[in-house]
Structure 1
Amino acid sequence: MKLPSYFRKPASAVMACALLAGVAVSCDDDDDFWDAFIPETDKEATSAQIQGYVFYPALQPASDQNVGQLKVPAGFQVNKFAEGLGKPRMLATSEKGHVYASDREAGIVMMLTDTDGDGMADDKKTVANIKQVHGLHIYNGKMYMAAVKEVFVADINPDGTLGQPRMLISDLPDGGQHPNRTLAFGPDQKMYISVGSTCNACPESNPENATLLRAEEDGSNRKIFAKGLRNTIGFGWHPETKELWGMDHGIDWLGDDEQKEELNQISQGADYGWPYIYGEGKYNPGDRPKGDTTYQQYLQKTKLPSLTYQAHSAPMAMTFYSGAQFPEDYRNDAFVAMRGSWNRSSPVGYKIVRMHFENGKPVRFEDFVTGFIVNNNKAHFGRLVGLAVHSDGSLLFSDDTNGVVYRVSHP
């Protein structure tokens, strides 16, 4: 695949300026294009003008009025499963119906239980205290929990509470810009751990940053499974094909519509391009491959995404649907929590999307839960993070800005 060393992309008027690895960002309102000349080597000058924004929608409460105007497909309904939870992040569910949520800021794992089956939790208790805990995964009757540099495991008691956490790993890389570790066990019975980059775009000094790692169940024999992944928080295996898929966060400060979020089929030993190659094979003007390697040479060994999604939507958790409550055509599709943009003039994301698979391959995204952006795109009442399928087949997702876990059901 050969690309020219120059390309033009449309962009919007400038609202904020930044400096990207020596590349000046213009504040000229008359600049309507993102222009770049990116030579293969440094024997010619790299020239790029990039327009960037910072826009955080204001926060509104998750009031009954706001929640009541959320939109889901016909036949579905959405309600608050639990609220007043602090800042719930990642979710995990047990076969017995216990729902677990991490709160990284509080350093706790909480357990939510719907004892009367009315679709709302009526019991909440803290079941683990771990500094900066984030990723959660249940495997072989145990709860696995990831913090910035550590992975812990705890037995799950018959009542759903957890035993004393035991540390399995203590030396994951420092967090930097992306400290939110996630983990899961694959069909090969190995532990997979996502380790994001320390920066927006830069060569990493620690080879384990911007990777997906793989280890044994006890945390031993840790190796890099795939690299060039800026921050793949959400990943999982297709229930039928057992292929591994993950949503990677795009680079910031490349404009309103760059870099698109990537859906990658993650393969052992593959390089997904970050920080030098992004999207559909484009060159990052701020970071040149090391040594005598040209962009084109790096592109040739880069595995490109299977699908892309609107830039700056910030994909978080991803889960495949294998429950029995939703219509049959939802089975083996995936859901993704889009946290929402901050590095864009008009907000995008702030929703749950459905990822359609046909014959085991992803074909398109479509909206599933929308309406968290209100007041003419100037405010929101939810930035979404965690996803999990409840034992009853409903879909749960978390918002860490208003402390709510929502439930989508199909009565």
Structure 2
Amino acid sequence: MKTWIKSTLVLSALTIFVFSCSDDDDFWDSMIPETDDDPTTSQVAGYVFKPATMPATDANVQQLEVPAGFTVQKFAEDLGHPRMMVVSSTGHVYVSDREAGEVMLLQDTNGDGIAESEETVANIRHAHGLSIHNGRMYIVAIRELYVADMNMDGTLGQPQLLVNDLPDAGQHPNRTIAFGPDGMMYLSVGSTCNSCPEPNPENATMLRLSSDGSDREIFAEGLRNTIGFGWHPETGELWGIDHGIDWLGDTEQKEEVNKIEEGANYGWPYIYGEGKYNPSDRPQGDTTYEQYLQLTTLPVMTYTAHAAPMAMAFYTGDQFPAEYQGDAFVAMRGSWNRSTPVGYKVVRLHFENGQPVRFDDFLTGFLINDNRAHFARLAGVAIHTDGSLLVSDDTNGVIYRVAYQP
């Protein structure tokens, strides 16, 4: 097996892989043959740049930028490491904290856009993905899936274990779940590595299960880490945004917007982007790159490499202008594997006639000091019952609320 080895020069009869500091194109002078009969050669400029971390002071929050007519404020703060969010039909806001292993309930009882109360309603090690279905809360950790009854006051009953044998996590422990129009549960399982053949066929997939955890099957594969996904409110089609491979340079691999269909293979780890070959990993057996490419469903759109897409939510509220209906909001966590930072913002993914057409910035300004520092790495997005957008930051423990007030 060939693997990426950071900051090390590795020479072999078959593969030459170099991380360089060249300012030339990231991926140049490459030869990637169809089989191992010829050597593979590629030179890549690999970087690590992590902006310094600053507090979410009032001054920093006040310089955040949103489109005209919108406002942004803190909905809640001092929350630890809030990740995924879900909002009940009664306006109860639930947020997971994977590091603390808990699910919190936030309530804005007077409707002023600020949560007055915070309460831990479940303690589950590595709790991450949340979904509400038929009045019950579903919580997924790394290897376990739980369900709990929801009480009128927003608290949860004792979580009941449904599944305890999800794949090991490795590099991507961020399981997320949602229920589709078919009433089935969809569960995203990331890869264990940056780029490698997976021994467990359920890694790097979208799984589908019945609400009781039974009838588990692989719905789609070749998805490196699709944390954010959802169904377009008009077409009912499933869309997801996948994390690209690291260590291919500043501009590769771009993040992928995929229409996720049953039985489809999205190429990871061998094919990426617009049908490009990954020089680090070759299809196993006698399969060539070209043959694997023919089996691969390519992305409908791409986004800037290393922006790190997290949660995605289609807008179905009634507060924002009508043109926002059916568009999606995506939290871009932000890069580390790049010479200059990208991400660290919320973007709007425009849909026309049910198809994605472009990205626009929506909530920006978390990068400060000439992009040398940041005060948020975003994780979750959710639409509140009042139509506002909630965005979680697990760096400073803040949930932001974006509202429309023309």
Shorter-chain TM-score: what band? over 0.9
1:217-263 superposed Cα distances (whole Å, 9 cap, x missing partner):
10001000000000000000000100000000000000000000000
- Counterpart for residue 304 of structure 1: 298
2:182 to 164, 188, 211: 188
Percent identity for Structure 1 against Structure 2 = 68
State the shift of 1:24 in Å: 2.4
Q: Structure 2 regions of 5+ residues with no counterpart? A: 1-5
Equivalence map 1:373-388=2 (5 Å) = 373-388=367-382
SS at match of 1:300: helix
d(CA) in 2 for partners of 1:279 and 1:17?
24
**Contact 1:18–1:52, Cα closer than 8 Å, also in 2:** no
Instruction: Report the AA paired with residue 211 of structure 2.
Output: E
Equivalence map 1:10-409=2 (5 Å) = 17-18=7-8, 23-27=16-20, 29=22, 34-35=27-28, 36-409=30-403
**Contact 1:23–1:286, Cα closer than 8 Å, also in 2:** no
d(CA) in 1 for partners of 2:316 and 2:41?
49
d(CA) in 1 for partners of 2:93 and 2:9?
43
d(CA) in 1 for partners of 2:148 and 2:129?
13
1:164-219 superposed Cα distances (whole Å, 9 cap, x missing partner):
00011100000000011000000000010000000000000000000000010100
1:309-333 superposed Cα distances (whole Å, 9 cap, x missing partner):
0000000000000000000000110
SS at match of 2:19: coil
**Contact 2:267–2:292, Cα closer than 8 Å, also in 1:** yes
Instruction: Report the AA paired with residue 299 of structure 1.
Output: L
Instruction: Report the AA paired with residue 34 of structure 1.
Output: F
SS at match of 1:267: coil
SS at match of 1:66: helix
State the shift of 1:17 in Å: 2.5
User: Would you identify which runs of 4 or more consecutive aligned residues in structure 1 move more than 3 Å?
Assistant: 18-23, 26-33
d(CA) in 1 for partners of 2:91 and 2:114?
12
Instruction: Report the AA paired with residue 26 of structure 1.
Output: F
Relative to structure 1, the CA distance from residue 410 to residue 64 in structure 2 (aligned partners, 3 Å threshold; closer, same or farther) is same
1:74-125 superposed Cα distances (whole Å, 9 cap, x missing partner):
0000000000000000000011111010000000000000011100000000
d(CA) in 1 for partners of 2:382 and 2:333?
15
Relative to structure 1, the CA distance from residue 79 to residue 211 in structure 2 (aligned partners, 3 Å threshold; closer, same or farther) is same
State the shift of 1:26 in Å: 3.5
Instruction: Report the AA paired with residue 187 of structure 1.
Output: P
Instruction: Report the AA paired with residue 189 of structure 1.
Output: G
Relative to structure 1, the CA distance from residue 42 to residue 323 in structure 2 (aligned partners, 3 Å threshold; closer, same or farther) is same
d(CA) in 1 for partners of 2:150 and 2:26?
55
d(CA) in 2 for partners of 1:68 and 1:307?
33
**Contact 2:20–2:43, Cα closer than 8 Å, also in 1:** no
d(CA) in 1 for partners of 2:69 and 2:393?
23
**Contact 2:21–2:46, Cα closer than 8 Å, also in 1:** no
d(CA) in 2 for partners of 1:385 and 1:20?
35
d(CA) in 1 for partners of 2:76 and 2:9?
42
TM-score by length of 1: 0.95
**Contact 2:191–2:198, Cα closer than 8 Å, also in 1:** yes
d(CA) in 1 for partners of 2:97 and 2:333?
16
d(CA) in 1 for partners of 2:157 and 2:10?
47
SS at match of 1:25: strand
SS at match of 1:26: strand
State the shift of 1:32 in Å: 5.2
**Contact 1:20–1:286, Cα closer than 8 Å, also in 2:** no
Instruction: Report the AA paired with residue 107 of structure 2.
Output: T
TM-score by length of 2: 0.96
State the shift of 1:25 in Å: 2.0
Query: How many residues are matched?
Result: 396
